[in-house]
């Protein structure tokens, strides 16, 4: 059985190999961010385990593999750019990470591979169709699903905590005064939003806000409230409006149009705040 200490050694070896290849490029900086994030996800996962009875009921061996999956969850990020520094769009980073672990490290434990493979998907539909998963007994399937939920929740909560500190700028989007109404409807319907609907930094912030509708454990949901993550997200959205207005004015864009757009998005943010209050999410 793979231990967490062994996992840390494997993880660091892959990171060092890729960071040397990409040298001092922006890709290297992105991968350093992902390295730090992976250890944060491990720590958040340990926190969730301690506060979630159904996870504590798992055997020590199962929990150890779950901890390995937490650290490995984004190992595919080290390989998502090819040798020409071009982002690969033919495969999701979770599936790519599983390929790395299977092909380069010869890891066969499904309690590591499947949570890594499916942690970045919206739902569990692909897991339920996975041939290897279907071969497991009912108890093993339930435990594997629990570990996937652990990785997903730890990943989301870690990202939320980072976003409340830094804003919504880990993915580059145009800083314009525009909000896609579809994303507001997603929040109203308590649905996870699609990244295809993102047209601005404000949209990215709303898409991230919608992650909470995909949380699995009561403890994770309670942290959202107690840490006032939605309050901070709304504050960040309003700060983005202020910054965008200033940048657009500096570009010489029509002041009246900017003020009109500012008023509209400000009203939309207030609408979102009211929706979250109705959902007891604030």
Distance CA 234, CA 212 (A): 14
Domain map of the chain by residue range? 1-158, 167-282
Q: Encode pLDDT of 98-107 as tens digits.
A: 999 999 999 9
Q: What is the mean pLDDT of residues 196-217?
A: 94
Is the pLDDT at 127 greater than 60? The verdict is yes
Q: For residue 81, list its beta bridge partners.
A: 87
Q: What is the mean pLDDT of residues 204-224?
A: 95
Distance CA 219, CA 203 (A): 27
Q: Encode pLDDT of 51-84 as tens digits.
A: 999 999 999 999 999 999 999 999 999 999 887 7
Specify the CATH number for 1-158; select among 3.30.460, 1.10.3210, 1.10.3470, 2.30.30.
1.10.3210
Q: For residue 87, list its beta bridge partners.
A: 81
Instruction: Return all residues near 52 (Cβ < 8 A) that are at least 6 apart.
Output: 150, 217, 218, 219
> Three-state DSSP class for 80?
coil
Are 216 and 194 spatial neighbours (Cβ–Cβ below 8 Å)? Answer: no
Q: What is the mean pLDDT of residues 155-172?
A: 79
Would you state the pLDDT for residue 161? 93
Q: Encode pLDDT of 220-267 as tens digits.
A: 999 999 999 999 999 999 999 999 999 999 999 999 999 999 999 999
Is the pLDDT at 171 greater than 60? The verdict is no
| Residue 174: band (very low, low, confident or very high) from pLDDT cuts 50, 70, 90 | confident
Nearest to 101 by CA among 130, 73, 122: 73
Are 209 and 230 spatial neighbours (Cβ–Cβ below 8 Å)? Answer: yes
Would you state the pLDDT for residue 223? 97
Q: What is the mean pLDDT of residues 131-143?
A: 98
Is the pLDDT at 166 greater than 80? The verdict is no
Q: For residue 238, with 0-12 CB atoms within 10 Å meaning exposed, 13-18 middle and 19 or more buried, which class applies?
A: middle
Distance CA 162, CA 4 (A): 24
User: What is the reported pTM?
Assistant: 0.93
């Amino acid at each position: 059985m793979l231990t967490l200490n062994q996992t840390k050694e494997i993880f660091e070896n892959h990171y060092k190999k890729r960071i040397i290849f990409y040298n001092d490029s922006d890709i290297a900086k992105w991968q350093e961010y992902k390295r730090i994030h992976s250890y944060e996800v491990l720590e958040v996962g340990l926190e969730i385990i301690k506060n979630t009875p159904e996870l504590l009921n798992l055997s020590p061996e199962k929990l150890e593999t779950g901890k390995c999956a937490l650290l490995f969850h984004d190992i595919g990020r080290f390989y998502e750019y090819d040798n020409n520094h071009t982002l690969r769009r033919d495969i999701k980073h979770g599936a790519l990470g599983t390929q790395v672990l299977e092909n380069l490290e010869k890891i066969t434990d499904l309690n590591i591979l499947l949570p890594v493979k499916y942690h970045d998907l919206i739902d569990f539909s692909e897991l339920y169709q996975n041939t290897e998963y279907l071969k497991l007994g009912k108890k093993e399937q339930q435990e594997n699903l629990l570990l996937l939920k652990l990785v997903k929740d730890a990943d989301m909560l870690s990202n939320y905590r980072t976003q409340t500190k830094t804003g919504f700028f880990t993915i580059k989007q145009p800083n314009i005064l525009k909000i896609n109404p579809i994303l507001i409807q997603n929040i109203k319907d308590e649905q996870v939003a699609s990244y295809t609907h993102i047209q601005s930094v404000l949209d990215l912030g709303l898409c991230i806000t919608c992650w909470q509708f995909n949380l699995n454990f009561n403890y994770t949901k309670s942290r959202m409230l107690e840490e006032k993550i939605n309050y901070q997200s709304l504050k960040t959205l309003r700060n983005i409006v202020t910054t965008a207005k200033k940048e657009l004015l500096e570009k010489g864009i029509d002041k009246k149009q900017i003020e009109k757009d500012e008023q509209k998005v400000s009203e939309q943010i207030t609408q979102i705040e009211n929706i979250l209050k109705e959902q007891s999410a604030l």
